[in-house]
Amino acid sequence: MAEVADGTVVDGRYHIRGRIGSGGMADVYLADDTHLGREVALKMLHRRFARDQQFVERFRREASAAAGLQHPNVVSVYDRGEHDGTYYIAMENLPGRTLRDLLRQEAPLSQERAIHFGIQILNAAGFAHRRGVIHRDFKPHNVIVAPDDSLKVTDFGIARAGASEMTETGSIMGTAQYLSPEQAQGQPVDARSDLYSIGIMLYEMLTGRVPFTGDSAVSIALKHVNELPQPLRELRPDIHPALEGAVMRALSKDPAHRYQSAEEFIAALEEARVVIRSGGAGGHTHDWAPVPPVVPPPVDEERRRRWPWATIVLLLLLGGALLAFLLTRPDQVKVPNEVGKQADTAALDLGHAGLRPRIKRVKSDKQIGLVVAQDPPAGRKIEKSSTVTLSVSSGPGFTSVPDVTNKPVAKAIRLLKKRRLFANTSFENSDTVAKGLVISTDPVALSQVLVGSRVALVVSSGPQLLPVPNVVGKKKPVAEALLTDASFKVTTLEQSSDMPKGEVVSQTPAAGVSVAKGSRVTITVSKGPQKVKVPDVKGQKQSDAQKTLTGAGFSVKVVKSDTCDSTVDGKVIDQSPAAGTKAKKGSAVTITVGHKTSSGPTGPCGP
| Rg of the Cα atoms in the chain | 47
Secondary structure, 3-state, 83-98: ECCEEEEEEECCCCEE
* Cβ(10)–Cβ(83) below 8 Å: yes
Amino acid 570 reads G
Helix (H) or strand (E) holding 116: helix 111-130
Amino acid 530 reads Q
Instruction: Count Cβ atoms below 10 Å from residue 557 Cβ, excluding itself.
Output: 12
- HSE-CB of 91 using CA atoms within 13 angstroms: 27
* Cβ(544)–Cβ(571) below 8 Å: no
Q: How far apart are CA 549 and CA 568, in angstroms?
A: 19
Q: How far apart are CA 180 and CA 221, in angstroms?
A: 8
137 labelled catalytic? yes
Q: How far apart are CA 142 and CA 171, in angstroms?
A: 12
CA-based max dimension of the chain: 207
Going 259 to 264 to 268 to 270, the CA torsion angle's sign is positive
Task: Give the rounded distance of the alpha carbon of 298 from its chain centre.
Answer: 87
Q: How far apart are CA 473 and CA 41, in angstroms?
A: 54
What is the chain's length? Answer: 607
Measuring CA to CA, which residue among 209, 265, 264 is closest to residue 234?
209
> Exactly one of 137, 194, 344, 349 is catalytic; which is it?
137
Active site residues: 137
